[in-house]
Structure 1
């Protein structure tokens, strides 16, 4: 293994579990893809959802939208909270296998995730492998989001990780750039197969 790289830090959503609100809303908008896309662009938007990742409660977020939109949209708005578990279709098996191989070989493994704190507790109950990390920083608990430098600094300080010793993995190029700016080696996740190849190239046994 490359001497300076000893630790692997994962993003979780769309690296280890497959998250997409479309997994939920295709049931509501069956056969009406265009209408679903309009809803996700104009009602339950990414900009609205990211504030839950920053720590805003889903109940507050839902009530904000309910006040802004006509009653016919209210069931779909409330579903984002009440049926949130359907936005995760399941684990990304190849990535979970990599995590388990790293753990089995004694590599310290951590996570930094943009995730609402309450929904993350639900995910911990659903996916046992999420309990295998040596430590996790959850954006909703901190009131910070990747790629902000502060969330990486919290991680380094809390777990005593030297930035240059760690490899960070994320499906967002912006978060990869943020990790690099914080001093970490970083990989842009595109598939488990590519991730395994990249990690082997860095000397990890996966």
Structure 2
């Protein structure tokens, strides 16, 4: 499917703020437009020094696929100065097209999976609180030995569940394998989901109206944060 894009937005104040004061991790996500005009909104959200949500850029595309993610990432890399991704981390729900685009444009970035997304899939396959409890124990382990202890517990409980999680590549979802220096131990892409919830009403409107509401929201947000910082 060919690339059909409409608009990309990244305000100078937002990219400058991210470069100067945010953690070296970004969350990538796509969400459907809910109005008459169909399509998807691709968003990138960072984390500030207080671990709070920090929207960076967004784009309207007709469909979420590799070509559109590649177009979006190409512009984002230029704006944020990510180069090939060395020293930075990306977290997402691992959409196939996004995975391929990240591998091509950011070969040295650490690409983590959203643990919540994995947990939801695990719950569908294996019912029972014990499965989720062990998963989160392995997910949040900060040392490899603690991760292995948790996974051994799961293997004794259910070998197939153990294999299912191992096939998900633990290096992409367990803290025990995260790169040092990323200044963030997040295992979920909650920031992107929170941003999508905030703009859900705007996503129901015509594209130009939606973009204008996003612009106003961002301007007011930056102003309020600045006043709070000075106050």
**What's the TM-score, normalizing by structure 2?**
0.32
- Higher strand fraction: Structure 1 or Structure 2? 2
Higher relative contact order (CA 8 A, sep 6+): 1
**What's the TM-score, normalizing by structure 1?**
0.35
